[in-house]
Amino acid sequence: MAKKRIFITGGASGLGKAIAFKFAHAGYQVCIADINDERGEATLAELKKICHSALYFHCDITKMEDLVWAKEQLIVHWSGIDIVVNNAGVGGNAGGIDDISLDDWQWVLDINLLGVVRGCKAFTPLFKLQGFGYFINIASMAGLINAPNMSNYNVAKAGVIALSETLSMELAPYNVGVSVVCPAFFKTNLTETLKAEDPKVIHSVNKLMNKSNLGADDIAQAIYQAFSQQKFWVLPHKTERRLWLLKRYIPFLFHYIMKKHLARLGKKKPANANTSR
Ligand SMILES: NC(=O)c1ccc[n+]([C@@H]2O[C@H](COP(=O)([O-])OP(=O)(O)OC[C@H]3O[C@@H](n4cnc5c(N)ncnc54)[C@H](O)[C@@H]3O)[C@@H](O)[C@H]2O)c1
């Protein structure tokens, strides 16, 4: 049987890289795409040790033509693709609504939301033509819990969740599946693209990432398992998953707990650091 094929945006670092290795070990042909060519080539060299046919493409998800080009290259190299992971993203801004500029809103929405929209738009026609395909969209707990002082990131991730829910129903008749992944903090290079006025905030976020009981490999494992079982929701962090269930079923209790927690954090730490990235 022909080997299955996976394409991952933002595959040079963090979660994208961990997904690449998880699927390569499972026998997939893996293509990673990124704008960081140095990390992309270094990750490709490592990947090739377990997957000879691995590929790296320079592909900027803010450019529709880059994603369409990547799709065309995958047809040339592998005659198609089985899974597309819309993973590439940036950390956004830590700050209040009055501090985040409209330029920063556009920056975050263009990458974290429209980047996923472009990935889905570029590959859906191929999936329909093939008669199969699967999107794994990387959102965040931030899109479900909506903690304060990260409005542009929260809105972008909530949009990715809404898009994924829409497509899971819209594309089901074409045998195209969708999963949406909503992790809380875990250690990656994401704070390289987190903007904050106060450097202490970046330090606090790094601390929260380091404290996470799950690493990128654990999230990649959860994604692989969810994909194998065709599960829509991938919510790997236990505490935040429970918090989200609380929000859905007992919203007033969720808001009470969040307010108390944030008030406590506000007394101890810079108010911008929260627990749901
Ligand atoms: N790390 C966390 O705590 C966390 C939590 C929830 C969700 N996420 C999400 O996980 C995804 C992966 O992030 P990560 O944590 O691995 O961070 P990371 O910074 O380690 O990796 C992100 C990758 O995306 C690439 N990228 C950025 N802009 C791009 C563009 N325009 N085109 C193509 N590639 C681009 C970067 O070069 C980088 O290699 C993101 O969508 C992020 O929002 C991360």
* pLDDT tens, N- to C-terminus, the chain (277 residues): 689 999 999 999 999 999 999 999 999 999 999 999 999 999 999 999 999 999 999 999 999 999 999 999 999 999 999 999 999 999 999 999 999 999 999 999 999 999 999 999 999 999 999 999 999 999 999 999 999 999 999 999 999 999 999 999 999 999 999 999 999 999 999 999 999 998 899 999 999 999 999 999 999 999 999 999 999 999 999 999 999 999 999 999 999 998 998 888 776 654 454 555 5
Q: Give the position, in ligand 1's atom list, of the atom nearest the Cα of 88.
A: 24
Question: Helix, strand or coil for residue 172?
Answer: helix
Report the pLDDT value the prediction gives residue 263, as an integer from 0 to 100. Answer: 86
CA dihedral sign, ordered 64, 223, 251, 249: positive
Side-chain half-sphere exposure of 231, counting CA atoms within 13 A: 13
Q: What is the DSSP secondary-structure string of 14-71?
A: HHHHHHHHHHHHTT-EEEEEES-HHHHHHHHHHHHTT-TT-EEEE--TT-HHHHHHHH
Contacts of 254 (CB under 8 A, 6+ apart): 243, 246, 247
Residues serving a catalytic function are 153
Q: Which tokens belong to 219? A: 């999230």
What domains are defined for the chain? Answer: 5-268 (3.40.50.720)
Q: Which tokens belong to 43? A: 């990750």
- Choosing from 7, 13, 41 the residue with most ligand 1 atoms within 8 A of its CB, the one to mutate for a pocket test is 13
Q: Find, among 164, 169, 105, the residue nearest to 140 by Cα.
A: 164
Distance CA 2, CA 5 (A): 9
- Terminal Cα distance for the chain, rounded: 40
- Choosing from 60, 90, 116, 202 the residue with most ligand 1 atoms within 8 A of its CB, the one to mutate for a pocket test is 90
* Site residues for ligand 1, CB cut-off 6 Å: 9-10, 12-16, 34-36, 39, 60-62, 87-90, 111, 138, 140, 183, 185-186, 188-190, 192, 209, 277
Report the pLDDT value the prediction gives residue 271, as an integer from 0 to 100. Answer: 45
**What's the burial of 53, exposed, middle or buried (CB within 10 Å: 0-12/13-18/19+)?**
middle
Q: What's the pTM value of the predicted model, to 2 decimals? A: 0.95
> How far does Cα 273 stand from its chain's mean position?
20
